[in-house]
Structure 1
């Protein structure tokens, strides 16, 4: 799947020479991301947003007057926060922050209209992404006493996009090793909507919302889907 995402990006770049006008740009900004999730076919309540950032390059390919196709290649952080009450020694609330890194290829169809000294634009389209890593961190946890397994459960760990599922015949040692990391499917895809404003000299500002449509969970009767709001500032260089 990782190769598929890269092939999509290469194909889009390779096809640009057939269009009349192509401009290239760079952009960066902040993400406010969350997730919808289920465990044992029941919705996981209490998931909150986590902050991250994105940075990358885009191409704007003219299709017709006021219309263009805008693919990109973006590094993007997504994830969520979850607060869990822990009724152990010195009852407390533990905050888990999960941050995931993706290489993302958005493909937006844009419409522009003159407004003031620049142009306002809006767009919709799909995105394709592949997870490359991440971390889970815990905060707010004090001494938990002699409770078997709790130190492992509340320990900071890595996120692996390996699609690996725990075997039903796993030994205790294999199970312990498996849960040293959080496991997800690598491929992610969904829908994206955006709005922005571009000044005549190339500076632009955008806001976008993306909704994941693929299930990233590896366990049976479970699901995980990303959702993210982002704001960006960027610069579009002159086209050919």
Structure 2
């Protein structure tokens, strides 16, 4: 009896898992982004202009019976930014200013959003969403850093190195914040998605900088 009960339970679980998996729409997306830094620091720093990067990843969307959707995935995203810092650093020998600082940081990012599927017709849907993301910066290489002062020049620095370089604090590896987005599904398979994300965690504490990113992606849902 116990074996029969176990077999029935196992079959029931497999059927439920198969049904659930069938309702999950897995896809791939790729596109470009524009990013910059925002912040409320009292330092006299300009947050710079929007800089172009890119992203590529996989998506997983689950739709409930009431058309609410749970949307997630995993993506590689390159965020770029620049700063024009006119701040003198006391204690440096010589005292320096940073007229231009560039960053190019690579992240692995996981969003989790709640959306609603507005089915316009059988071949076209619009899905607005709101949620959160968490990202980990795993690489940046050398970025341009222009110095102004005695014996100053242009050098390369590593914003994720962890140590202060030339009096400039490193960026954090971890980042998290909020997202809003709009996805169009065309012909049940092709997607066009716009998303805006802004960091809640400070990416760099000295200037109170947070990431701000606009993303546009095209994709295919299986």
State whether residues 38 and 47 of structure 2, in contact with CA within 8 Å, keep that contact through their aligned partners in structure 1.
no
Gaps of 5+ in 1: 1-15, 86-93, 167-177
Name stretches of at least 5 consecutive residues in structure 2 with no aligned partner. Answer: 1-16, 87-98
Deviations 1:88-108 (A, max 9, x none): xxxxxx654321111111111
Q: In 1, distance between residues paired with 2:161 and 2:150?
A: 28
Q: Distance in 1 between matches of 2:168 and 2:208?
A: 18
1:108 aligns with 2:95: no
TM superposition shift of 1:76 = 0.7
Structure whose CA Rg is larger: 2
Q: Distance in 2 between matches of 1:181 and 1:43?
A: 15
1:133-148 paired onto structure 2 within 5 Å:
133-134=139-140, 135-137=142-144, 148=150
TM-score normalised according to structure 2 size: 0.75
Q: How does 1:116-127 map to 2 (within 5 A)?
A: 116=121, 117-127=123-133
Is 1:63 the counterpart of 2:64? The answer is yes
TM-score, normalised via structure 1 length:
0.70
Aligned residues: 192
C-alpha contact (below 8 Å) 1:38/1:44 kept by paired residues: no
Residues 1:18 and 1:214: Cα distance change in structure 2 (over 3 Å): farther
Name the CA distance, whole Å, in 1 between partners of 2:137 and 2:181.
22
Are the equivalent residues in 2 in contact too, given 1:161–1:185 (CA < 8 A)?
no
In structure 1, how many angstroms separate the alpha carbons of the residues matched to 2:192 and 2:204? Answer: 34
Partner of 2:177: 190
Residues 162-186 of structure 1: CA deviation (Å, up to 9, x unaligned): 3x4x5xxxxxxxxxxx339861111
**Pairwise CA distance, 1:82:** 3.4
Q: Is 1:159 aligned to 2:159, yes or no? A: yes
Distance 1:133 1:180 in 2: 21
Aligned equivalent of 2:196: 209
